[in-house]
Structure 1
């Protein structure tokens, strides 16, 4: 019995070692996302009926003085803000019959009776708050711990690698990668790691002269900082202490924020690049995971320290924010797409067209969720 309890409740066990970190990461990301919708919606004068973390049966909750029900529900895999006039958690367009059930006071503060800009601002606030959360996390980490960087030097070239075939030599210094200037070896890795199979142009500094070469990165399986096996694109160059001269960069508070904004932008860019390549079959499907993979990563991050866990919060927050901006109903981006069409044609999209789009979008989202669950449990 003691062995079972230890396996469940110790920091190495499932409850404290995996479930609690997972719930912490997911709850923070979902709460911030929904708080974005809530705060901007309230600022725009929209009434809020419910703010929920999780779905399904309510576990605990309370009503505030504005009549909003704040609640924690049994299935902690998301959340929602239900505005006045919403007939479901996805804020889809209500029917005329649904609107007739509202009182005059409710119509004034109902979500779907507001100006387009108010609806759009409320919807986009969720993903934007996710990005802001990442910026805050990265700012604190950079201000607290700084960041190690190394000069973009080539110490070794792996035999028969893309770099060797391109003519890159030990002692070369990277100047740019496909036109993007690089200052650190990490910049090179960032610009190469997601582009397996692409022909990339490198400008190298050799003996005081710039030399231009092309190389095609190839996938290689590596272990990330959490011990997960990942496939990243490499060209086959190695840095070392002698040439790389690794150093710690420290930041002022303002500098940390600027670096955090830049880092968030890089992660958003890489996320978009990955999804674009994945859609055309150029990325490894096992790089996508669902709740099971996130729980595993949260447990591993927690064992390394709280700073690793909050870094995972930042990365997941960016991912959730980006995915929600995809123009697919019932995601936030799908709502924004409809508002954009409404602004152009100066009338709401027809109920029939909207219903068809929502059904198709919901099917697509459910298929994606099923795919990542399959990856989690059986596929990878």
Structure 2
């Protein structure tokens, strides 16, 4: 029983810490830009539910620590709920209510009466803050820890694989994939993983010559120690740098920022590519993960980082670095998710503001309400699908079947 509780804590606590950090930064993005434009704010909360700790500052903003550590939120004055975007009639009623309570002209401090471009920037600031967090984390890692660059040197070709059919040979050094220069094996693996069934054009250095090859990665199910069983594109090669080829680089601050931006873009590009392949039917979507999958991944990463043979101090540092890196990747995912043009999410608000900017009036309230209902259904459906994937990977159904037999 104690072992079960200990394992549960290892999986749950890191996930909650990372999620709370990422969501808090997201909400701070909204908050800082809103305050810069003079928007009146009622509350900023870390966590949900009843407040465990609470303090009200000189601006009348309540800073609250909720007892449910699943992120946080910022509540602007006049917001009935997170999806409240009134139409012209609703705005007029709100204006009269504010004037009766605070006096004429007081509505200028309320979010809904700010110019549409300011509201759009406030909404976009949340996802933008997530991307900034990721760039900042990657920048610190590249400058303080550095990165190992492993040239994509092929040391083995699996017989009867896609690589063997294409003519790859041991000793080949991959220079470009689909016209894009690659410097390390990670970049090659990312492109191959998301290209099952799609021909890829390679240029390899073989001796003194550059040789052009075309290979089509095959979809193969493999066991990932972090994500569990995954189906991905496989080329059929083993890559390992020759002695002296691998280098470890710690970047100066200005180069580390650039590398951090490149890494953030690479993760974002991979996410967009995968979702695009789902939409076009080239991927099944079975790799989408929900809260259970993310918690499992954070726990597995924590266990892996803690299992290194080193002193307790080094093991603790390794765990912290691993969770910080995981926070950067999760932050990119949350930032991207919130930019999707789905009502209820930030992207849905931006969609409505785009209409308002063109039509010079807010979208009708009944259409907005319908949009939010559809958006909520889509979002819940996506979460249920991701949770189904998580449960399947956790082998829960086989476990329950075994209990009933």
Instruction: Verify same fold: TM over 0.5.
Output: yes
Q: CA deviation at 1:19?
A: 2.5
- Choose the corresponding residue for 1:101, options 84, 93, 97: 97
Correspondence 1:64 to 2:57: yes
Q: Secondary structure at the match of 1:195?
A: coil
Counterpart residue number, 1:161: 161
| 1:118 to 1:7, Cα distance in 2 relative to 1, 3 A | same
- Choose the corresponding residue for 2:340, options 312, 326, 337: 326
Q: CA deviation at 1:258?
A: 1.4
Q: Secondary structure at the match of 2:141?
A: helix
Correspondence 1:374 to 2:368: no
The answer on whether the counterparts of 2:151 and 2:241 sit within 8 Å (CA) in structure 1 is: no
Residue segments in structure 1 that go unaligned for 5+ positions in a row: none
Aligned equivalents of 1:186, 1:291: Cα separation in 2: 26
Counterpart residue number, 1:152: 152
Aligned equivalents of 1:105, 1:59: Cα separation in 2: 36
For residues 287-329 of structure 1, give each alpha carbon's deviation from its aligned partner in whole angstroms, at most 9, with x where no partner exists: 2222222222222223311111111111100000000000111
Aligned equivalents of 1:146, 1:284: Cα separation in 2: 36
| 1:349 to 1:72, Cα distance in 2 relative to 1, 3 A | same
Q: CA deviation at 1:55?
A: 3.3
Q: Secondary structure at the match of 1:155?
A: strand
Q: CA deviation at 1:41?
A: 0.7
Q: Secondary structure at the match of 1:58?
A: strand
Give the number of equivalent residue pairs.
373
Written as runs of structure 1 = structure 2, the 5 A alignment for 1:83-102 is 83-93=76-86, 95-96=90-91, 97-102=93-98
Counterpart residue number, 1:309: 323
Correspondence 1:42 to 2:56: no
Q: CA deviation at 1:224?
A: 4.5
For residues 145-171 of structure 1, give each alpha carbon's deviation from its aligned partner in whole angstroms, at most 9, with x where no partner exists: 211122222222111111111122222
Q: Secondary structure at the match of 2:154?
A: coil
- Choose the corresponding residue for 2:66, options 42, 52, 73: 73
For residues 325-354 of structure 1, give each alpha carbon's deviation from its aligned partner in whole angstroms, at most 9, with x where no partner exists: 001111111111111222222222222322
Counterpart residue number, 1:32: 25
Counterpart residue number, 1:261: 261
TM-score of the pair, normalised by structure 2: 0.85
Residue segments in structure 2 that go unaligned for 5+ positions in a row: 306-318, 395-405
Q: Which moved more, 1:196-205 or 1:72-81?
A: 72-81
Counterpart residue number, 1:14: 8
Q: CA deviation at 1:375?
A: 2.6
| 1:152 to 1:278, Cα distance in 2 relative to 1, 3 A | same
Q: Secondary structure at the match of 2:98?
A: coil
Aligned equivalents of 2:206, 2:7: Cα separation in 1: 53
Q: Which moved more, 1:354-363 or 1:70-79?
A: 70-79
Aligned equivalents of 1:156, 1:215: Cα separation in 2: 16
Q: Secondary structure at the match of 2:269?
A: helix
Aligned equivalents of 2:150, 2:233: Cα separation in 1: 19
Aligned equivalents of 2:272, 2:227: Cα separation in 1: 24
- Choose the corresponding residue for 2:75, options 69, 72, 82: 82
Q: CA deviation at 1:99?
A: 4.3
- Choose the corresponding residue for 1:23, options 10, 16, 19: 16
The answer on whether the counterparts of 1:81 and 1:89 sit within 8 Å (CA) in structure 2 is: no
Counterpart residue number, 1:363: 377
Correspondence 1:337 to 2:333: no
Q: CA deviation at 1:109?
A: 1.1
4+ residue runs over 6 A deviation = none
Q: CA deviation at 1:263?
A: 0.3
| 1:281 to 1:60, Cα distance in 2 relative to 1, 3 A | farther
Q: CA deviation at 1:122?
A: 0.5
Q: CA deviation at 1:215?
A: 1.4
Aligned equivalents of 2:14, 2:182: Cα separation in 1: 36
For residues 108-137 of structure 1, give each alpha carbon's deviation from its aligned partner in whole angstroms, at most 9, with x where no partner exists: 111111111111110111011101111111
Written as runs of structure 1 = structure 2, the 5 A alignment for 1:214-253 is 214-224=214-224, 226=226, 228-242=228-242, 245-253=245-253
Q: CA deviation at 1:274?
A: 1.3
Counterpart residue number, 1:287: 287
Q: CA deviation at 1:36?
A: 0.3
